[in-house]
Amino acid sequence: MKRTIRTTALTVGALIAALGLQAGSAHAETTAPRIDLRVLLVSDGGPATDAIAAELDTAGTPYTKVDLTQAGRPTIDAAFLADTVDGRPRAKYQAVVLPNDNPFAAGSAEMTALADYERTYAVPQVDAYTYARPEAGLQYPVYGGYSGSLDGVQAQVTAAGEAGPFGYLKGAVPFEDNSPTVGESYAYLSTPVAGADFTPYVQAPIPGTTKQGSLVGEYRHDGRRELVVTFVYNQYQEQFRLLSRGIVEWMTGGVHLGAARNYFAVHVDDVFAADDRWDTKLNCTPGDVDCTNDEGTPSPIRMTPADVDHATAWQSSHHFTFDLVYNGAGSVDQRSDNNGVDQLADKLVADRNQFRWVNHTYTHAFLGCEQNTTVVPWTCETNPDGSTKWVSRSAIDNEIAINRVWGHLNGLPLDDDELVTGEHSGLKILPQQPQDNPNLAPALADNGVKWLASDNSRDPEQRVVGPATTVSRYPMNVFYNAGTASEEADEYNWIYTSRAQGGSGICEDNPATTTCLPAPLDTSTGYQDYIVPLETRIDLGHVLANDPKPHFIHQSNLTEDRLAYPVLDGVLDGYDALFTDSTPLVNLRMKDIGTELQRRATWRTAVQNGQVTAYRIGATVTVQAPAGIAATATMPTGTTQSGHAFGTAYAGATSGWTTTTGGTLTLTLPSTAASTAPSTTAHHKAPAATRPAPHAKVPAGVTEQVPYTPDN
């Protein structure tokens, strides 16, 4: 299918146009000022500026933070903002982020310096969350607008927003409403002041009227450009995550260091094995040390050939690939117990090229300390001298190597660099095992393992274990020991209800990390009505946060009631409803996720340590970084590096990693991008950035009004 990629207009174009220069001309390159690719973020400690800072951090975009609440902060004046380098004027920041349209006292010399700087260098300003008022190009909300909650409201990107910085969205911007008792959003909805050069990019209906009020819009006045945001948010809310890319692209003109994509990968653990089933009468799982049942054990859960057909058909319809994390002994045992027959393994091996495959060890053995399971919770066995008894290096070697051999004999398309140990064992597990098994790293070296899975809930930071680097995986809250929706809801009730409600009381004992349900779920409807929407929202939140870490479920979730699919459908279908084809989900295998995380960590360290400098002069972008480091940047489509196309297309731009040559990377912007002033595609007014700010009557009682932050 042919896809149309939109590109936003660039701030460099505004600068060149303002100086009366032609992009690409020798005269332009010799007289244009240097614009450093760094953002100035002025914070008042509120959630809006913190959210933008988090977005820049995650993408790897350099910024300087000035905290207005700190007494020893630097003064923002002309010298702080600009100087001269090699005889060329230098703007130290390509964009300015303020907590609102003017966070300084009346008559502030700092705001005057900022306004002069923005005019001189055509630097845009983001008002992270401001009250709707004429100084921001909007009418006071009391004049036919609205001030209040937007919980559950669906905002909409305007035609100008789609043609401009938010072109990666299909249009809908839903505002969260996760609790009927908690205010989650607050906004000022208003229309532009008469005569203001204001273009709404995102709007929502004004209650009680037929009008739309602006939530995000561009205000051009007095030779300056502002992105005016009139709703409060934090970095975790879906509405911000949907719009954050456009905010960054608007303020940088699509030319900045750092990059962001939307990722989703799903590992299916225990393939070929069977998972124990939750006992709804005993409220435990047979096989656990604290679960005994004299009346018999519920049947284990194992996929069937029909489940494989369903998985391959689902993948095809969703353009998605599972990573099957397998234990070969599961099939060997099945054949041993059934006269050599294992129809599931036969089907999976026949369809092996429909999936990616990862070694999960042969028997799923615990590879940390030797466990004493006669007590609850289990403890590590100890030697006579009190030291820990560890699973041996040879035992770990066998679990890795035998499973690998089994996989290769069956033609599985493995990558031998990758490993997921059973229960992520061998790595530290608090509180029982506060350190890695010292035999794990040598065994990984013996087997050439370079990427080792860890549990994000226990070990979220990427770290080195011998020759391997960890890749943290998000556990999805779809239980491994439930094959049906009623079993899932029953176990969920046990974990998340109080003792008085018949639950375990875990939520009462751990209120800081676990929230009790107000009442037990209906086991016939609770999974679909409560658990699925909650887990979908959590997982989609990871996707929208530029987070490549994989999620993991179990083979039991793909059989019987096939519990995983409603959540996965919610994530993928929900994503498709929000984003255009130019912004596809990125579905990587484990080693590629590990490489992405590793590169980010190296880049982030270099940026934070001041080892990266980047600037733009006319249509030329220069990045200076430690030699050999992989640099990441986002540029307009058509940008070249040494005459070749830079990066890959994503969300209407081009971005990617590239290694600097001798510590320097030079990029050339396309002439069309460098010569087009911002916002010319968004509206057809005459160039009006020099218009003065309009005046409007100030209504009684609002002269001192400041942005409102709900207590959530």
pLDDT at 18: 40
Token duo for residue 381 = 């066995």
What is the amino acid identity at position 111? Answer: M
pTM of the model: 0.91
Under the banding of pLDDT at 50, 70 and 90, the label for residue 704 is very low
pLDDT at 295: 67
pLDDT at 662: 78
pLDDT at 28: 53
The DSSP symbol for 501 reads: G
pLDDT at 180 over 90: no
Kind and range of the H or E run holding 605: helix 590-608
C-beta separation of 98 from 131 below 8 A:
no
- Give the residue, 294 or 167, on which the prediction is more confident: 167
ω into residue 626 within 30 of 0, thus cis?
no
C-alpha distances out from residue 87 to 32, 51, 664, Å: 11, 37, 21
DSSP string, 350-415: HTGGGSEEEE--SS----SBPEETTSSS-EE-B-TTSPBPB--HHHHHHHHHHHHHHHHHTT--B-
pLDDT at 710: 56
Nearest 5°: CA angle at 147, between 146 and 148?
115
Residues in a beta bridge with 359: 326
> What phi and psi values does residue 633 have, to the nearest 5 degrees?
-155, 160
Mean pLDDT over 189-215 rounds to 97
412-443 per-position pLDDT tens digit: 999 999 999 999 999 999 999 999 999 999 99
> Which one, of 248, 158, 259, 142, lies nearest residue 201 by Cα?
158
Token look-up 């349900």 returns 517
Token duo for residue 172 = 């809908």
Whole-angstrom distance, CA of residue 507 vs CA of residue 515: 6
Sheet bearing 653-659, strands edge to edge: 256-257, 630-635, 653-659, 648-650
